[in-house]
Amino acid sequence: MSKVLVVVESPAKAKTIEKYLGKNYVVKASMGHLRDLPKSQFGIDVENNFSPKYINIRGKGDLIKSLKSAAKSADKVFLASDPDREGEAIAWHLAHILNVDEDEKCRIVFNEITKPAIQNAVKSPRPINIDRVDAQQARRMLDRIVGYKLSPLLWRKVRKGLSAGRVQSVTVKLICDREKEIQSFISEEYWTIDTKLREKVKSPMFDAELITIDGEKLAVNNEKVATEICDDLEKQTFVVKEVKKRQRQRKALPPFITSSLQQDASRKLGFTSRKTMMLAQQLYEGLELGRKGPVGLITYMRTDSTRVSDLAQQEVRDYVNAEFSAEYLPEKPPVYSTKKSQDAHEAIRPTSIIYTPDSIEKYLSKDQYKLYRLIWERFVASQMAPAIYDTLTIQISAGKYGLKATGSQLKFPGFRAVYIESKEQDKDVTLPELAIDQVIKLQKVLPKQHFTEPPPRYNEASLVKTLEEKGIGRPSTYSPIIETILGRGYVVRVDKKFEPTELGFVVVDMLKEYFETIVDAEFTAGLENQLDEIAEGKIDKNQLLEEFYEPFAKTLEHAEEAIGHVELPEEISDIPCEHCGRMMVVKQGRYGKFLACPGFPECRNTKPLLKDTGVICTKCGGAIVERRSKRGKHFYGCKNYPECDFVSWDMPLKENCEVCGAFMLKHNYKNGRFITYCSNEECTSRIDHPINKELEKNKKKTQEQAEKKENADVALDNSKKSGKTKTTQKKSTKKTSRKKAEEK
């Protein structure tokens, strides 16, 4: 029987695949790329049709030798790297290293690591798709041209260790532009007026909002006018003018693609894009499920297609019919429209619906379980019937004023029996059955002051969404891009939102002035479209590279001459260095701003930059300041620490407790709600306050974490001691053996 070598990218994947193939198959892992452009030189021969100079990656010599040996002893080699452009390029490099003809049917691909998928892939190999390889090479060379040529310019003109890139520079510009919008934003006052109404004296109250005055949309921008309207409203008779009843359907969202998975995992689970992709990779490659051995739990996680196979759709329909009823199934399996997708992969879904999250929870880590549950529920819900709501809209007249009350009740849950998109959308609002011309009673008028708010800073979810909408980069690149701009110090993550640093502003402004196209979102998106066209065989990669390189090289030459050394502005504080007396300056670090002595390296004094909250500590009279933990999380403590031990995760407020006069604290819940409570633990207002339960919960959590750490430390100490004992025993045995040998 002939031997077949199958080369995949990761050992975990190799292990899972091996159990689906017979004894005649040997599965080995390439551990990603084996060849790349050299780090020490440009590696692209511009004069010779942009010919790349590939070399074996340092440190992979033994692995290459092992793969060559396995290929030599095999009768057939299948290259089974990931089913995307990057995977196609890895297969092409492997073919070169292992002397496999790229025109042969040596390439196998699969969207999921299941027995049928693997066996079908082996039965239908194909040649390497050179168009896809060219698209990957073009991307790699574009990134090399920008990174290798532009980054040294930044080193010389600004600071060493900086970098620029097609996608990363645009991303930083987006964050900087948003910050400028926030800084230039002028807040404006406006008022809303709500009312509490009821049908009869003892019937339940319901809400109605003032919408119009004399047929014009309500526009109130000061308290005086709002008060006048409220006083006038109290004199009016409230009459029902229109009652509209209708049914509304809400369809389920499509199954996940790479970008929507990153967004939802950020929004619902608090995961970074990097963490999400790492966990998804583990679920895809396969995890040990007891006696079943390694099982691939989800389909390939780098995809921008919402397509689902007929087999998977039928499986989930059978499951929904059995677990719920036929009522929860649409007549036809839903088909979701998708933008032009890079590859023909399926959406991200479970490989089999029988692996319910609860049934395999014990085999998964806490985070693996959370992400798998999210993927599983979203997929099942995507194939279910829409949710149906009964809605009621009541138009009310009160003299010249027009009010509106809206109610909504869930009639049929549909997909929401499995997956709820947002907690805010879950609440039913019940309105009474009212008739036209019916008079209703006013109970309260509730004016409310508001101020227009600037656009929010980008968080992980909104940044990924914006990049996707603008066509910048690919979802698979978003995670490393975010990590790069954080690592370079162009932006910092504060309260899970991205803020540009002074360095970020300086670099973006410089690039805007001299390399406008590099930070232009439309230009970058256009390049992505051209890369797609290369993958489809519509344009030549060298044509794209030439069109990009020539104007870029000229601009680079001009910038080298025109740009002088850029001095980063330093913010000087009013705090002297206690070691040398110089006024300390504000620096930007990984976890935000801090104070440093300008006399570095002679004086290396640093200290945290404390933000005054304006609240006075009731324990010692010192100022309560905002501090930052080692993990970058905000907390509040007394400036006189360690002499004063006041500390709180909750924000101090300038308002005082009505009972005891101590300052109030604000506790934020994850869903956006908040409560205020007295900072004085002895205050009677704290009796039966909901905060007590929250604080007790947090205390218990902290204790559990501390115990867990302590147990881990003890276990580590024991293992070290055990290791030392074993080592000592081994040494002793060796000595005895040597002695005996010498005696002989």
Q: Catalytic amino acids?
A: 300
Q: How many helices (H) and strands (E) does the chain have?
A: 18, 29
Q: Which residues pair with 73 in a beta bridge?
A: none
Q: Are the C-beta atoms of residues 464 and 454 closer than 8 Å to each other?
A: no
Return d(Cα 596, Cα 607) in angstroms, integer: 7
The token duo for 86 is: 């990057």
Return d(Cα 304, Cα 583) in angstroms, integer: 53
> Distance of alpha carbon 342 from its chain centroid, rounded?
21
CB hemisphere CA count around 116 (13 angstroms): 4
Q: Which residues pair with 256 in a beta bridge?
A: 348
Cβ within 8 Å of residue 173, ≥6 positions away: 508, 511, 512, 519, 521
Return d(Cα 468, Cα 167) in angstroms, integer: 12
CB atoms within 10 A of CB 365: 11
The token duo for 62 is: 């033994």
Helices 366-382 and 273-285, axial angle in degrees (round to 10): 80
Return d(Cα 423, Cα 421) in angstroms, integer: 7
Return d(Cα 484, Cα 491) in angstroms, integer: 10
Residue 456: left (phi > 0), alpha (psi -120 to 50), or beta?
beta
Sign for the pseudo-dihedral over CA of 631, 637, 640, 642 = negative
Return d(Cα 106, Cα 101) in angstroms, integer: 8
Amino acid, res. 699: K
Return d(Cα 406, Cα 212) in angstroms, integer: 15
Strands (E), 473-562: 491-494, 497-500
Amino acid, res. 355: Y
Measured at the CA of 326, the angle between CA 325 and CA 327, to 5 degrees, comes to 85
Least Cα distance to 252 among 380, 382, 345, 424 occurs for: 382
> Distance of alpha carbon 138 from its chain centroid, rounded?
27
Return d(Cα 349, Cα 114) in angstroms, integer: 13
DSSP-derived letter for residue 256 is B
- Give 486: exposed, middle or buried? Use CB within 10 Å, 0-12, 13-18, 19+: middle
Least Cα distance to 354 among 315, 394, 396 occurs for: 315
Query: What distances in angstroms separate CA 377 from CA 51, 259, 356, 363, 367, one per listed residue?
Result: 47, 17, 9, 18, 15
Residue 311, classed as helix, strand or coil, is helix
